[in-house]
Amino acid sequence: QNSSEMPETITSRDAAPADRTVKRCGWGVRCSARPLSGFVLQIFSQEYINLLLSMYFFVLGILALSHTISPMMNRFFPANFPNKQYQLLFTQGSGESKEEIVNYEFDTKDLVCLALSSVVGVWYLLRKHWIANNLFGLAFSLNGVELLHLNNVSTGCILLGGLFIYDVFWVFGTNVMVTVAKSFEAPIKLVFPQDLLEKGLEADNFAMLGLGDIVIPGIFIALLLRFDISLKKNTHTYFYTSFVAYIFGLGLTIFIMHIFKHAQPALLYLVPACIGFPLLVALAKGEVTEMF
């Protein structure tokens, strides 16, 4: 991703159709998802699907992790580091009809970050270790929050509300979400070893958190940070409130999961927390109108 590209902005027109689709098509998808997934697994064995996903996320994971660690790695390079500039340019046609297909600028520091990320990629590809999986998962999440922007709080509420229904339906209404999360070996989730103290780094009993449960609330929290800055009060009240609300919602998810011994839709607890807590603060400060 070229750093000069503008982030993708999600508007209410983008969010609302998705919500309506969830409501209207829920029963149809519910009836068709199970036989369709079984049909796909009958034609293509799970081993081949996992191999294809591994190669796909191997490439994407290296690029995402390289982009994520680049700002941090700049602190470790000495001032006299020979940093040369490069440009990757692909064009189509010639003369006046010449069109740029790819125009990517990078430097030697980017190449070093790419090499370090490739080491993690090979580790993931060969071992599928949970640490390598989580490094890629975190990189995907951070890139998602960076590249996806909400244009206002109303849009964020529409999007979170729709995905709240979506998450509850797919976890409690069917077993598709849990089955996919457990079946496919891909960094589409963060995994937390529950037997870490017993087996150390070779732990193999995991709790899981989907990347959507990080990115979707994350772009809403990032929006509230921009709202804090727009108030020009030199405080980050709404950002810290929503951040603490996210931690509270995640903790409540884990608590309920251990009590009932059943997978929980994280957005069931995260959405009310991330919307409700900042809204209460806005009511207390009389800034609801400015927020919306």
- First-to-last CA distance in the chain? 31
CA atoms of 121 and 123, how far apart (whole Å): 5
**Can you list the positions of beta strands (E) in the chain?**
8-10, 85-92, 99-107, 148-150, 189-193, 206-210
Tokens of 95: 């003369």
* CA-to-CA dists, residue 179 to 156, 182, 193, 292, angstroms: 29, 5, 19, 38
- DSSP character at residue 2: -
CA nearest neighbour of 125 among 183, 63, 190, 55: 55
* Dihedral sign, Cα of residue 274, residue 177, residue 169, residue 61: positive
Q: Is 107 a catalytic residue?
A: no
Which residue's entry shows tokens 């950002």? 239
If one counts every other C-beta atom within 10 angstroms of the C-beta of residue 48, the result is 10
Tokens of 237: 């009240």
Q: Is 14 a catalytic residue?
A: no
CA atoms of 124 and 103, how far apart (whole Å): 29
Tokens of 118: 């490739």
Candidates 19, 107, 110, 167; catalytic one: 167
Active site residues: 167, 213
